[in-house]
Structure 1
């Protein structure tokens, strides 16, 4: 059986590498794109092949892998199944359009979609468009092969949502996968794309031209922040791969010449012994790459920072979120200000080169003074980079459910949207007030960095100057102060990434 695996991106969140940054290390036969690799379909491809099927992968960031090109390939190669993968709300319109074009090209070919948004909105998607035939809820490593073996009897496939006549049928949910070591390593060779380590900005903010990829060593998060839907996808359960399995993949990547790896784990810092074993393995095997990850400041594994630094961890991102305990408690962060300060200081003291802080503004019960206090707090911390984003509500999060119960969001009407909370919640500061407070906060923070930490700032600017024009660096520095004109997409607020001084926000 021939299967097309297609990853569909929001056009706003990737860029082709500017021609002037071209490097002789890159193959002329491959496209260079500033984006994260599509690790979902890269993971599924070898699993499907193990079951005896032929696979072709597509990533719509490639100029020759747009909907019209894939539709042409569908007509020519006649796949037996088309699987569409996409991440979030912002990519759903493109996914819907892709399904329509592919269904026109091959009316009888079944189309199945998967991903986080699809899992949360399975019934709504099937009711919204007839061009999508099936939705895979949850993890696909076991579901998709089982689906391919049972095309004639979809009712037997756990986790599948499908149509029977005019009705939408929800099969029993699948249990989460416990053994993550059972699967082969992702296929990073088949797509003719080099993914460039970069920031998701509207300027060419390239971090390095080293060979770059992502890895996932664990899944899930046991916490319950009100703005995050990840815990609900696996009932707040955290699962992980063994150190041996992780090191086996790292060995492969090291041997293939990868020199920069980012771990996409939702929470890497949960198991001290596991982290220690992975880091010791990196040291013992003398791997040549640098790597980065994300974690919570209250993790018990903060005592592993020394060995992480020794193992070439050069980037660590913390979800700080707010600079007042009142707001941290309100958004369910379950961490203290002291834990934030201690974790950041500890990471810097033990030699992790770049520490990033994610912050939110426009939270419930937050005042303009609270927003300014978050910026003052960021200035006191030993952060290298930072980003201040407006709090948003997404379906599947506790915050969304709260708005549904309060009558602010209509769940049936708004399922395919996301909202900036300050635009819809009358109890939150209005958006213009939030933005004014944020601009004032950036001025305070920038002044602190430029005058009190000039050497740290100059070092960062030099790093970015390796791959950015002076004009683009100035655009980056001035971006928090520009008034943005938003172009609304159908049924969706336009996504806006709010970034601070040289803020390498790795996830959108």
Structure 2
């Protein structure tokens, strides 16, 4: 069997870092970990080609070459996902799909024409799919009744990737999260009991990347790295000597819940293992909203104190914030903006609330008759209106959101709070020799020109850079990366503002039209 594995185009979003990647000569932020893991589960006698369409487009020859097309997708990739399915069908190819989007919304892939839906986790459903193929079955939907044991998951096929195209390579330690945030679909996809790989598995994956010459960021892409704290500590204790022996070849980052601040030992182990950054879902500084969405783990301690503690230990925080919760009081955008300024968090992933399919929030809103079925072209990434009827005027929510996003990513405020964030770091990170490749060398003069000469930030840029270099030289590389990533946000905020204002105007015009039609109907009834 000749299989063409496709990863659809990822539209420009908060996470794409597109402007920064373009400046650095990179093509994409992360590779498709799911697809290269699935590739390792396919039969050894299959011929496999993988194309990440964010790196390059597949050729006509590759379409002609393959017997089957396997496509994975997240909801943000829905447009290209649909078009790829339809192209495969039109060319007479068998099309198999999987990943979080078709798992959550299988009817979308079916309507597009996919022949095989390999849903849930591949360790369970790939064998069923292969058995169906062997029997000559022309179509099928393959679902799992249980969660797989990830200690048997094979090493991903990193050899299928063009490593030089990516900012970071992704690996996975755990699946699942013990919490039950109402808006989150992770517990639907992976369950509430975190399952983890063994330390030996993880070190084997890292060793493959090390032998392949990778020396930049590695994103441990767990939705909550500390969902199983005991196993996370066991892994970290094995990782520390491995990293020490190789002089810390990788820059590690991950996602974790804010209750990390409650465990001093875990924070210290992460820092000593080479973690420099952690993404945390803070969501909102409004405690009432946190309780309303069942995110009680963020209410046990002061949010501000927790963030400061983690930062002081030496971990840069990225954070998620959301506007639009039920019962939210006016001014939520200003309160979020103030919290971000007070914590100095450079990268704040700010978004309007979206009800994801089959979450507790989706079910509740559907029952209440408040759900809007249309996903829209920009669903789930910064440029999409709320897909349900909120408890306060949508115009008010969207205006607050636009203002907050715009203000947060003004160049001067971004530089100021990034500097404060790094100055706050007191923990002793392990010494390492950062690998400066041509991407970093290309990026350095561009950032110096833009932020240090072209913009009004010029004086602040140079004295902050000098202060970090003199006072915290071990943080200089990470600090400069944070400034570089800022270039994406400085540009992206224009896109967010334009798209949302256009959608808001269209919504208002639709409302006016509906009102006129109602008045016309009433007048007609009277006459």
Q: Provide the TM-score with structure 1 as the length reference.
A: 0.75
The aligned counterpart of 2:126 is 144
Alignment counterpart, residue 275 of structure 1, candidates 205, 210, 232: 232
Instruction: Note if 1:99 corresponds to 2:85.
Output: yes
Instruction: Note if 1:431 corresponds to 2:387.
Output: no
Alignment counterpart, residue 497 of structure 2, candidates 473, 478, 484: 484
Contact 1:112 1:132 (8 Å CA) reproduced: yes
Q: How far did residue 184 of structure 1 move?
A: 2.3
The aligned counterpart of 1:291 is 252
Pairing 1:20-39 to 2, within 5 Å after superposition: 21-22=24-25, 32-39=26-33
Out of 56-65 and 415-424, give the one that drifted further. 415-424
The aligned counterpart of 1:187 is 157
Contact 1:323 1:373 (8 Å CA) reproduced: yes
Compared CA separation, residues 117 and 417, structure 1 to 2 (3 A)? farther
How many angstroms apart in 2 are the aligned matches of 1:345 and 1:293? Answer: 18
How many angstroms apart in 2 are the aligned matches of 1:78 and 1:445? Answer: 45
The aligned counterpart of 1:320 is 282
Larger radius of gyration: 2
Compared CA separation, residues 309 and 480, structure 1 to 2 (3 A)? same
Q: How far did residue 240 of structure 1 move?
A: 0.8
Compared CA separation, residues 56 and 350, structure 1 to 2 (3 A)? same
Instruction: Note if 1:217 corresponds to 2:173.
Output: yes
Compared CA separation, residues 450 and 284, structure 1 to 2 (3 A)? closer
Unpaired segments of 5 or more residues in structure 2?
Answer: 425-439, 455-483, 507-527
Compared CA separation, residues 256 and 431, structure 1 to 2 (3 A)? farther
Q: How far did residue 8 of structure 1 move?
A: 1.4
Alignment counterpart, residue 119 of structure 1, candidates 100, 103, 111: 103
Instruction: Note if 1:336 corresponds to 2:299.
Output: yes
The aligned counterpart of 2:510 is none
How many angstroms apart in 2 are the aligned matches of 1:305 and 1:370? Answer: 30
More helix, by proportion: 2
How many angstroms apart in 2 are the aligned matches of 1:305 and 1:123? Answer: 43
**CA RMSD after TM alignment:** 3.8
Compared CA separation, residues 342 and 19, structure 1 to 2 (3 A)? closer
Alignment counterpart, residue 110 of structure 1, candidates 79, 89, 94: 94
Compared CA separation, residues 481 and 149, structure 1 to 2 (3 A)? closer
Compared CA separation, residues 142 and 5, structure 1 to 2 (3 A)? farther
The aligned counterpart of 2:54 is 61
User: Deviation per CA, 1:81-114, whole angstroms, max 9, x where unpaired?
Assistant: 22111111x3223222112222222x2x421110
Out of 262-271 and 379-388, give the one that drifted further. 379-388
User: Deviation per CA, 1:276-303, whole angstroms, max 9, x where unpaired?
Assistant: 3333333212242110111111246553
Compared CA separation, residues 446 and 327, structure 1 to 2 (3 A)? farther
Instruction: Note if 1:355 corresponds to 2:317.
Output: yes
How many angstroms apart in 2 are the aligned matches of 1:424 and 1:366? Answer: 15
Alignment counterpart, residue 146 of structure 2, candidates 130, 150, 175: 175
Contact 2:102 2:109 (8 Å CA) reproduced: yes
Unpaired segments of 5 or more residues in structure 1?
Answer: 23-31, 156-161, 164-168, 198-211, 494-508
How many angstroms apart in 1 are the aligned matches of 2:94 and 2:495? Answer: 46
Q: How far did residue 417 of structure 1 move?
A: 8.6
How many angstroms apart in 1 are the aligned matches of 2:189 and 2:322? Answer: 23
State the secondary structure of the residue aligned to 2:253: strand
More strand, by proportion: 1
User: Deviation per CA, 1:225-259, whole angstroms, max 9, x where unpaired?
Assistant: 12211111234232111122112212222333323
Q: How far did residue 360 of structure 1 move?
A: 0.9
Tell me the number of residue pairs that the alignment of Structure 1 and Structure 2 aligns. 442
